[in-house]
């Protein structure tokens, strides 16, 4: 941590900063800058110092406080240099295999989810996605089936053997969702819902953490930290597009996020090309891009009949297009030294 003093900071102000740093138990180190003084704070890693940024920032004469190292710890690669491997029902995410998760946006009916599950399994998907609790921008849109939807997901798992990923919206639904799901998804709009994150830290199921569309990558790792601090270290990070000025696509796929997160963190990183593009026309190209950039997996929306879907139909692949996408994804995986496991 580095404390930059204002250009005209008085000696007394510098003294006061030095004392404040010492009072917190750290060693101050004054750099004799020609223009302005810079005080380095030595002693511990910056994730712990985060709480001190505000503390030091408002001392008189301080221009600003900059963290030099990461604002997170448990999720950082410096804390845990090896890749974390997460195993769910026999599927391993974060290893050599590129894991494909697929299924409809929402569970709509028994036949729909069973048909979808069989179709994605046949094409090579290793996990099933499907929403029972749906966060929708408009309250007038379909909100999901709730617990009956969870039961249908469990039934689809029985039928296909595919582990199930589903979203939990309300901290108090966790105990319910945990009964049916294999992986608990935190939706993009809840990435900084700390009440939810803290309770997920106390569960034993892996968490698929989607990036908030307006959140920086370091905020995403800080959100992961909220869960990890509670004891649950099995987190899958998911890039799903960010909000920018470009309106040609529903979101902007931040493809850089994949190698950056892999560099900063030991956690597995996957891409959701359905939400990050918002249109079926672009899903396959961006799915391939994600694998080429180093993603450990993909989560893709597939619906037996997109034209009848109650949500996200315009970005859902038919089973046929998903099958075609899988062919290319497999070849790209091989090209970058990974693999998509045969069934």
Task: Give the footprint of a second copy on residues 98-157 (CB under 8 A).
Answer: 135-142
Q: How far is the CB of 239 from a second copy (least distance, A)?
A: 11
CA proximity to 299, closest of 312, 310, 309: 312
Asked whether 92 and 138 are in contact (CB, 8 A), the reply is: no
**Angle, CA 135 vertex, CA 304 and CA 278 arms, to 5°:** 55
Q: Judged by CB, which is closer to a second copy: 46, or 182?
A: 46
Q: Which of 9, 113, 145, 310 binds a second copy (CB under 8 A)?
A: 310
DSSP code of residue 173? G
Which CB sits closer to a second copy, 58 or 204? 58
Among 45, 116, 125, 269, binds a second copy (CB under 8 A): 45
Choose the stretch contacting a second copy; rule: CB under 8 A; options: 95-103, 114-122, 158-166, 243-251: 243-251
What does the alpha-carbon distance between residue 219 and residue 207 come to, in Å, rounded to a whole number? 17
Residue 156 in tokens: 């689809």
**CB of 159: closest distance to a second copy in angstroms?**
26
CA gap 243, 250 in Å, rounded? 8
Judged by CB under 8 A, the residue of 182, 254, 296, 301 near a second copy is: 254
Stretch 278-297 residues interacting with a second copy (CB under 8 A)? 280-282, 285-286, 288-294
Minimum CB distance to a second copy, residue 333 (Å): 8
Beta bridge partner(s), residue 210: 238
Per CB under 8 A, does 85 bind a second copy?
A: no
Pick the closer one to a second copy by CB: 136 or 151: 136
Helix (H) or strand (E) holding 31: strand 27-31
Q: How far is the CB of 243 from a second copy (least distance, A)?
A: 4
Contact status, residue 84 vs residue 236, Cβ threshold 8 Å? no
User: Which residues, numbered 175-194, are part of the site for a second copy (CB under 8 A)?
Assistant: 189-190, 192-194
Query: What distances in angstroms separate CA 26 from CA 52, 110, 281, one per listed residue?
Result: 11, 60, 55
> Binding of a second copy at residue 18 (CB under 8 A)?
no
CB 278 within 8 A of CB 249: yes
């Amino acid at each position: 941590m580095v404390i930059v003093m204002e250009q005209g900071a008085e000696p007394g102000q510098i003294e006061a900063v030095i004392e404040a740093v010492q009072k917190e138990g750290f060693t101050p180190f004054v750099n004799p800058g020609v223009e302005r003084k810079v005080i380095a704070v030595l002693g511990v890693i910056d994730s712990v110092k985060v709480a001190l940024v505000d503390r030091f920032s408002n001392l008189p004469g301080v221009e600003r406080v900059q963290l030099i190292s990461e604002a997170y710890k448990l999720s950082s690669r410096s804390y845990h240099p090896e890749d974390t491997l997460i195993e769910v029902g026999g599927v391993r995410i974060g290893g050599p295999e590129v894991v494909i998760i697929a299924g409809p946006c929402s569970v709509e009916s028994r036949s729909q989810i069973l048909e979808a599950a069989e179709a994605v399994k046949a094409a090579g998907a290793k996990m099933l996605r499907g929403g029972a609790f749906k966060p929708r921008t408009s309250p007038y849109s379909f909100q999901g089936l709730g617990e009956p939807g969870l039961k249908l997901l469990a039934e689809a798992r029985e039928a296909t053997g595919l582990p199930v990923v589903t979203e939990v919206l309300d901290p108090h639904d966790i105990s319910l969702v945990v009964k049916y799901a294999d992986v608990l998804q935190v939706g993009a709009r809840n990435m900084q819902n700390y009440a939810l994150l803290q309770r997920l830290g106390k569960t034993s199921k892996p968490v698929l953490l989607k990036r908030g569309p307006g959140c920086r990558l370091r905020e995403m790792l800080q959100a992961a930290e909220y869960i990890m601090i509670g004891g649950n270290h099995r987190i899958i990070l998911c890039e799903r597009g960010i909000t920018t000025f470009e309106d040609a696509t529903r979101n902007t796929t931040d493809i850089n996020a994949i190698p950056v997160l892999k560099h900063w963190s030991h956690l597995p990183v996957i891409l959701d090309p359905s939400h990050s593009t918002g249109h079926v026309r672009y899903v396959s190209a961006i799915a391939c891009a994600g694998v080429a950039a180093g993603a450990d997996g993909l989560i893709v929306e597939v619906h037996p009949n997109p034209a009848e879907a109650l949500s996200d139909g315009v970005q859902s692949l038919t089973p046929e297009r998903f099958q075609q996408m899988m062919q290319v994804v497999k070849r790209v995986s091989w090209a970058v030294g990974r693999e998509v496991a045969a069934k």
